Amino acid sequence: MPENLILTDDEVVRLRAALDGYTVDAVLEAIGDQGQAALGRNTTVAADRALQGRGDTISTLTRLFVLQQEVDAASVQAALPAETLRGAGILAPSGDGVRALVDIRPYGSPDDGADGWLVSDHAATLDTSRGAPRPDHVLGVSPASTTLAQLTMRRPVSRALDLGTGCGVQALHLARHVDTIVATDLSERALRCARLGLALSGVEADLRLGSLYEPVEGELFDLIVTNPPFVISPPSSAKFTYRESTFSGDGLMKSVVTGAPARLADGGALQVLGNWAHTADQPWDERLAGWVAGTGCDALVIEREVLDPYEYVEIWLADAGLAGTPSYKVMYEQWLDYFDSLGITGVGMGWFTLVNAGRTNPDVRVESWPHAVEQPVGTAFQQHFEAVADARLSDAELLALPWTLAADVVQETLGVPGAEDPSHIVLRQQRGFRRAVEVDTALAAVLGACDGDLTLGDILAAVAGLLDVPTAALVDDVLPRLRPLIADAWFAA
Ligand SMILES: C[S@@+](CC[C@H](N)C(=O)[O-])C[C@H]1O[C@@H](n2cnc3c(N)ncnc32)[C@H](O)[C@@H]1O
């Protein structure tokens, strides 16, 4: 059975016509909210019941591709150019009917309007799935894909690289704001899926085979996005191209980051979603900051979660379908021994963004922020990197400007009931990263007075008068604490 997933331009046009109306909304309407929720739990029963009695095209396509069911040949023939798809290894005879060998499904993002169809392998975790995933399994849209899409800065740019494109979902998003897209992957099968999905979606991308930056040697990009195979696993583990590499520890993640500065145009950005090791010999934030040292790049690294080795290993053994199998315990021990040998005490999961700012003394921030953020958070990343320059103004420049507190900032006070003064004042952003910062009375008063009218210097003088302290002392106290707040978009000039 050919598995080439290759269609001619004419065949793509015919398939595209057949998929007309097979949209995210149409599938949702057909399977219902409960069917959709159950698919999220990897069960098809609720969706199957919702489709009972229906024989229309949407139900046929949904059964074939979304529920991985066998469908009668006449229905498939009526809905799709079946013979062509059999020839390309997309459909195959099965029992009395037909099955799909890959997943073709509509995609739509409420965040930026990206839409189209994506081609991938069937989810191996679904209750109708047949057998373990192949080593070159091409992942469909995963929660990690969505997170990367949401943290991507969506300013219009000329050239972008989608590194490790998989089914091509990031390229579909990039098409909304990028002139030229290069999409790479180590897997030929992934490129075939991406090529077909992007062709069906009317998106042009230059697809190239190869590892990491090899296929783009000597080229520069305004934006590089990647959700690479970041799983830290022992060499003995079965390698799935979509999640693991042959690098030791978090070496692949490090190579993605350290290789980026030479591929970024002036002001260009790399945005990575990935994992990194916490090691016994060095604080994790220091280790990650070291990856960008000397590059001239500003960086904002946000760790969203840290798992201990046991939690981490359990997640990825289950992902490989090993939970409950005879080899589970053996593999578990191998992973733990591997972590011990590398001194790995935990695994951080998060977002690594760097911008080629060309500074001798770049702004590198590595921090943990596990709390909810406003999605899509890419806007907040954009604001941060734009505000970094303002945060570096001289003291005299800062004092001469009229600043305005962001409209989303609210104040929370905590204290003993009935007390005259609060014991804690916390300012909280309602938008973006939704950060919180504890402030004292002086800083709260200064920020509260920033309404774009008076200069910061005038405000500080007025607050100093109210608090009965010398203005110069208040300036020395408050300015160093204001600078990071500027970079974090608490207020702007
Ligand atoms: C987790 S998937 C991400 C797919 C897609 N970008 C997304 O957001 O869903 C990782 C992808 O990286 C590819 N990959 C694995 N090793 C690679 C390497 N050394 N260089 C480039 N791509 C690689 C895999 O084949 C897979 O398609």
The residue whose CA is least distant from atom 24 of ligand 1 is 242
Structure confidence at residue 1 (pLDDT):
45
Say which residue, 433 or 324, is predicted with more confidence.
433
* 152/270 same-domain check: yes
Number of domains in the chain: 3
Cα 370 to ligand 1 centroid, rounded to whole Å: 25
Q: Per residue in 84-128, pLDDT tens?
A: 999 999 999 999 999 999 999 999 999 999 999 999 999 988 999
* 188/228 same-domain check: yes
* 132/58 same-domain check: no
**Which residue, 387, 414, 437, sits at the end of a domain?**
387
* 341/401 same-domain check: no
Mean pLDDT within 424-430: 96
Cα 302 to ligand 1 centroid, rounded to whole Å: 21
The residues, ordered by sequence, that sit 6+ positions from 295 with a Cβ below 8 Å of its Cβ are: 258, 261, 354, 356, 362
Structure confidence at residue 3 (pLDDT):
64
- CATH code at position 336: 3.40.50.150
Minimum-distance ligand 1 atom for the alpha carbon of 273:
8
Cα 65 to ligand 1 centroid, rounded to whole Å: 22
Mean pLDDT within 340-355: 98
Q: Distances from the Cα of 400 to the Cαs of 43, 203, 396, 457, 485, in angstroms? A: 62, 48, 6, 6, 17
The residue whose CA is least distant from atom 17 of ligand 1 is 186
Cα 480 to ligand 1 centroid, rounded to whole Å: 42
Q: Distances from the Cα of 260 to the Cαs of 225, 275, 377, in angstroms? A: 10, 17, 22
Count CB-CB contacts under 10 A for residue 455: 16
Q: In this structure, are residues 46 and 38 in contact, taking their beta carbons and an 8 Å threshold? A: yes
Q: Tell me which residues have their CB closer than 6 angstroms to ligand 1.
A: 139, 142, 145, 148, 163-166, 169-170, 184-187, 190, 211-212, 227-229, 241-242, 245
The residue among 480, 457, 475, 486 whose CA lies nearest residue 391 is 486
Cα first-last separation, the chain: 64
* 368/400 same-domain check: no
Residue 67 has pLDDT above 60, yes or no: yes
Identify the domain containing residue 416 by its residue range. 393-492
**Which residue, 361, 387, 413, sits at the end of a domain?**
387
* 370/400 same-domain check: no
Minimum-distance ligand 1 atom for the alpha carbon of 185:
22
* Separation between Cα atoms, residue 225 and residue 448, nearest integer Å: 38
Structure confidence at residue 130 (pLDDT):
83
Mean pLDDT within 321-339: 93
**Which residue, 387, 404, 426, sits at the end of a domain?**
387
* Separation between Cα atoms, residue 285 and residue 303, nearest integer Å: 9
* 246/347 same-domain check: yes
Q: Per residue in 20-60, pLDDT tens?
A: 999 999 999 999 999 999 999 999 999 999 999 999 999 99
* 154/229 same-domain check: yes
Cα 211 to ligand 1 centroid, rounded to whole Å: 9
Q: In this structure, are residues 352 and 299 in contact, taking their beta carbons and an 8 Å threshold? A: yes
* 435/346 same-domain check: no
* 121/78 same-domain check: no
* 379/306 same-domain check: yes
